[in-house]
Structure 1
Amino acid sequence: MVPAWAGALAGLVAGGVALGVAQLVAGLVGPETFPVVAVGDVTVDLTPAPVKDFAITTFGENDKTVLVGGVLVVLALIAALIGVLARRRPAYGVAGLAAFGVVGLLAVLTRPDAGMLDALPTVAGVAVGAWALLWLLRRATVSTPAAAAAPAGTAERPSQVEPPAEAERPAEAEPRAGVERPAEVEWPAVMRAGADLRAFDRRRLLTGVAGGVVVAGAAAVIGRQLGGRQAVDAARVSLALPKPATPAKPVPAGADLRINGITPFFTKNQDFYRVDTALVVPQVDPNEWKLRIHGLVDRPVELTYADLLKMPLTEADITLTCVSNEVGGELAGNARWLGVRMSEVLRRAGLRSDADMLLSTSADGFTCGTPVDVVMDGREALYAIAMNGEALPVDHGFPVRQVVPGLYGYVSATKWVVDVKVTRFDRDEAYWTPRGWAAKGPIKTQSRIDVPKSGDSLKAGRATIAGVAWAQHTGVDAVEVRVDREQWRQAKLAEVPGPDTWRQWSIDWDLTPGEHTIQVRATDAAGRTQVEQEAPPAPDGATGWHTITVKVA
């Protein structure tokens, strides 16, 4: 009999082979058909909004990694259990893998625009995984004739000797007085000469496991390469960006206060926050990309990437903010964007007077509802193709994404955008609206303390308190700071090129020994001061003053 640990190991490796083969086939069919991704996408869609909020708040940009990791851990545990059950009856193992195949198929085939070919990765993975499990279990045992168990010329071990017949057993004498009868001997089972025994072979199992791991890893790596990431990366790197017809305003010399620990004015691409619903980043070839504008328009428009590059390009510095950002959170970033004004594209289509919503769709099926009046009011709302002087990173929407200053990302910043339906809010809903979020999401005035950090220990005396504040598309006009709920004091503001970026601020304060509470609030250019009342991000953005506590010695 194969030990339980060996069965669990065989199940784990067979599960890995199944996923590796599924990844390989998905590389040919489409990355979104990988069953782990499909199950993860369904999980995201079915997860209640409060749980999603908790995941984003707790794990930030790593929420997708945690989700996929959780799915893989669950699959690993169940694969190990299937392996243990299959030791006694291989049919249990095949049935268990088939059951998980059904779950994967349901997740894959219920995706929008799914076809029967999309089932191929899951079917192939389950079939090869079942074969691998049976092969490993067979490999773990070898036939051992009973006669060979005892070497020639040696006495047979008790386990190889038949017990004497009843008549041949010596008569049991009555015990003498005071002498205890010896315990009755239990004779072991007999292994007759010529019987075919199955003995566990650890070495054969482990060599088979090593081969399975290599196959699983190689299939997964090749599958990821076939998924198109390398081709899209190559197209992105080779892209020559046109010069903007309307360059961004020069950044004022005093835009960055250069205080150690403060958030820089521009956020590097690799540091820019990423929050979206895509478990696998869409790989969109710019040569095949098209943007379709339709719905409540006079003339439906379809643009290729080459068409977009031929249009006048605008460069603008814009801060984006996620609606899931907690007070004092880091889900905000500022970048220099290059793209075509959305208003110019929409004018080509001819907006009808009753239209008030742009329902944009991403290449992965995500939808977003943007108010028409905001896009058409003259602000630099863009179909962006570049970020901080280079083509959009794939993770941030390559080849084209929306960037709309003044709106939270969930109602404006569609990545990998491929379709825009001009419609009305009373006719259509975007992805997050039925999940409890507001249909429109204007950004709320916020400020954050970057220096010092909450919980820091400081020396008594003069200390610098600094951070950033934002109020897109209005602009920040003032920032105030107070310590221990005493009188508010005006902070020094950095220069900014316009109302669509965040603004650095700083103030020097004499701190005495003890524990101190520091608070900050901002006022926008329209005279609206940041709300004191604390509220969570749902349904339309968090409110409250950022508050930290420090110790001074």
Structure 2
Amino acid sequence: MPAALPGSRQFGDTGPVSSTTPRYAALAGVAAAAAAIGTAELVAALTGPRSSPLVAVGGLVVDTAPEPVKRFGIAVFGTYDKIALLVGTALLLGGFAALLGMLAARRLTVGLAGIAAFAALGTAAALTRADANAADALPSLVGAVVGGVALWAFIAGPLEFDPWPWSPPTADSTATPASEPDPGPGRSVDPDSRRRFLTGVGTVLGVAAVGGVAGRWLAGRRGVSAARDAITLPAPVSAAPPVPAGADLAVAGLASYVTPNRGFYRIDTALVVPQVDPESWRLRIHGRVGNPVTLSYADLLARPMVERWVTLACVSNEVGGDLIGNARWLGVPLRELLDEAAPLDGADQVVGRSVDGWTCGTPTAVLRDGRDALLAVGMNGEPLPVAHGFPVRMVVPGLYGYVSACKWITELELTSFADFDAYWVPRGWSAQGPVKTQSRIDTPRPRNRPAAGPVVVAGVAWAQHRGIDRVEVRVDEGPWQEAELAPTVSADTWVQWSWRWQATPGEHTLQVRATDSTGETQTPQQQDVAPDGATGWHTVTLTVA
């Protein structure tokens, strides 16, 4: 058992229980919290990673945080927003634990009540997630018991330390005899007490770290990577067309035409990537349909597959942002599945529901208008990566992901926009999100500082399901100059463009705009990403040497 805080008294005393300095009490609180979290992570390896208090509370934060806060997180941290949230949650927990330790040194029951409150929050957060069960409460409860015992062990012992510099003496305080010099605040009367206490804290922190890492490792061992690796995808009955020669200009700094899986953006609400076993996976197509359909993963793989190039974009993508990628998708046409289910009159919305309860609402008409909307099982020639929706996800060209790209999908429910709002709609986003015509300058960027003379200006433009007809560039608000478009597979993907600029020394401003196949040119009006996607011309200011 860890050494108690010097100056502590036994559990059950009604007055202040410790006469130690605040920094040691705070350290005791942090060590107790670490013991609680480390234990909880180990238990969560058995009950499921989403039952971890950090993950459950983080998920609650994601669901309840104001939209400006979420947009700020994505804008600042991009695809690392989830890591930033978990780290931030851990730091806040550390500060809360330090405060509890300081309060517990004055009255132990206050510290124990704080641990109980955090356990209640973790339990409530875990039990309110989709598909939760009673076992999901165990990590928070067991962790709280261990944390409470650790806090008691650190604080309720009979050793001695300095008095609180900010606390008046009590009847229990050990007074320094008049014949002995006052050691002064921050100095130990008993050096052995300090050593035993710090050794105990270090031991608890070390064991907690090992427990947390072990819990995460065990949770990973329970994942579905092995099941994914064992899958052999069927050959498509309709293969994707080959990428035409010259589609990738191979200009330094320019995004490649095909986005590799490891570099494809990921924006979703799942703090822990769902691990869905393809053997037990089922898809239900139900709701306002004449013929409900249930499919297993084997059923889906047995159906005729098509392969298509489709560029996906996030509605949170700022003008000039990189939350966009192009990949080759393999899947079953959603149109065929919906036709089999026979939507009833008025069923104008298809709600995709993820295994973690997230929902998106897609117009039924869009999924049946002939575009290559897929229930996808493959990405760039391999089974879907787990982080990108394995075993099955939706891919719909021409719509932002928040209304179409449901990952880890388990349901397609036919309903109406009047009857149901998907996840992001009550949070201030538009119910329908067609992709807007956009363009981006990838090179040069301000940090490049190109030399005067010929400079290749290049980037990408996109208007999925409409296609790009023209891209124009201008310098210092001068006349628009038409750029050269590279070949592309189809209207459902982005296109690379380039323009040769005779750069002169000094500071310059470059702007780009695109026109889609309908004749619509990007608006110069600047609009935030909410509620239905950003608008404006991408502008780059740089210095030519």
Q: Which amino acid is 2:334 matched to? A: M
Q: Which amino acid is 1:481 matched to? A: V
Q: Which aligned pairs between 1:211-222 and structure 2 lie closer than 5 A?
A: 211-222=203-214
Q: Which aligned pairs between 1:355-370 and structure 2 lie closer than 5 A?
A: 355-370=347-362
Structure 2 residues without counterparts, runs of 5 or longer: 1-6, 8-19, 162-174, 183-188
1:341 counterpart (324, 333, 337): 333
Q: Distance in 2 between matches of 1:444 and 1:258?
A: 26
Q: Can you list the C-alpha shifts for 1:384-405, whole angstroms capped at 9, x where unaligned?
A: 1111111111111111111100
Q: Which aligned pairs between 1:480-495 and structure 2 lie closer than 5 A?
A: 480-495=472-487
Change (3 A) 1:225 1:160: closer
The answer to whether 1:373 aligns with 2:362 is no
Q: Which aligned pairs between 1:67-146 and structure 2 lie closer than 5 A?
A: 67-137=85-155, 141=159
Q: Can you list the C-alpha shifts for 1:527-549, whole angstroms capped at 9, x where unaligned?
A: 11111111111111111111111
Q: Say whether the 8 Å CA contact 1:140–1:202 is kept in structure 2.
A: no
TM superposition shift of 1:105: 2.2
Q: Which aligned pairs between 1:40-59 and structure 2 lie closer than 5 A?
A: 40-59=58-77
Q: Distance in 1 between matches of 2:176 and 2:541?
A: 77
1:141 is paired with a residue of what secondary structure? coil
Aligned residue number for residue 202 of structure 2: 210
Aligned residue number for residue 241 of structure 2: 249
Aligned residue number for residue 54 of structure 2: 36
The answer to whether 1:301 aligns with 2:319 is no
Aligned residue number for residue 61 of structure 1: 79
Q: Distance in 2 between matches of 1:504 and 1:257?
A: 7
Q: Distance in 1 between matches of 2:524 and 2:493?
A: 22
1:23 is paired with a residue of what secondary structure? helix
Aligned residue number for residue 510 of structure 2: 518
TM superposition shift of 1:200: 5.5
Q: Which aligned pairs between 1:520-535 and structure 2 lie closer than 5 A?
A: 520-535=512-527
2:344 counterpart (333, 341, 352): 352
Aligned residue number for residue 449 of structure 1: 441
Q: Which amino acid is 2:522 matched to? A: Q
Change (3 A) 1:514 1:189: closer
2:411 counterpart (413, 419, 424): 419
TM superposition shift of 1:87: 2.9
Q: Distance in 1 between matches of 2:239 and 2:29?
A: 59
Aligned residue number for residue 325 of structure 1: 317
Structure 1 residues without counterparts, runs of 5 or longer: 144-158, 162-185, 191-196
TM superposition shift of 1:337: 0.9
Q: Which amino acid is 1:317 matched to? A: W
Q: Distance in 1 between matches of 2:191 and 2:538?
A: 67
Task: Report which of the two structures shows the higher radius of gyration computed on alpha carbons.
Answer: 1
Q: Say whether the 8 Å CA contact 1:296–1:352 is kept in structure 2.
A: yes
Q: Say whether the 8 Å CA contact 1:15–1:79 is kept in structure 2.
A: yes
Aligned residue number for residue 470 of structure 2: 478
Q: Say whether the 8 Å CA contact 2:131–2:356 is kept in structure 1.
A: no
Same amino acid, percent of matched pairs: 54
Q: Say whether the 8 Å CA contact 2:443–2:458 is kept in structure 1.
A: yes
Q: Distance in 2 between matches of 1:114 and 1:415?
A: 19
Q: Distance in 2 between matches of 1:113 and 1:259?
A: 48
Q: Can you list the C-alpha shifts for 1:221-260, whole angstroms capped at 9, x where unaligned?
A: 3322343555311111222121111110111011101111
Aligned residue number for residue 170 of structure 2: none
TM superposition shift of 1:118: 2.1
Pairwise CA RMSD of aligned residues?
2.1
Q: Can you list the C-alpha shifts for 1:306-356, whole angstroms capped at 9, x where unaligned?
A: 111111111111100000111101110011111111112212212223211
The answer to whether 1:291 aligns with 2:283 is yes
TM superposition shift of 1:470: 0.3
Q: Distance in 1 between matches of 2:342 and 2:214?
A: 46
1:87 is paired with a residue of what secondary structure? helix
Q: Say whether the 8 Å CA contact 1:292–1:419 is kept in structure 2.
A: yes
Change (3 A) 1:525 1:140: farther
TM-score scaled by structure 2? 0.89
Q: Can you list the C-alpha shifts for 1:470-521, whole angstroms capped at 9, x where unaligned?
A: 0001111111111111111111111111111100000101111221111111
Q: Say whether the 8 Å CA contact 1:142–1:200 is kept in structure 2.
A: no
Aligned residue number for residue 179 of structure 1: none
Q: Say whether the 8 Å CA contact 2:37–2:208 is kept in structure 1.
A: yes
Q: Which amino acid is 1:360 matched to? A: G
Q: How many residue pairs were aligned?
A: 508
The answer to whether 1:26 aligns with 2:44 is yes
Q: Say whether the 8 Å CA contact 2:348–2:365 is kept in structure 1.
A: yes
Aligned residue number for residue 431 of structure 1: 423
Q: Can you list the C-alpha shifts for 1:65-92, whole angstroms capped at 9, x where unaligned?
A: 1111111111101111222233343333
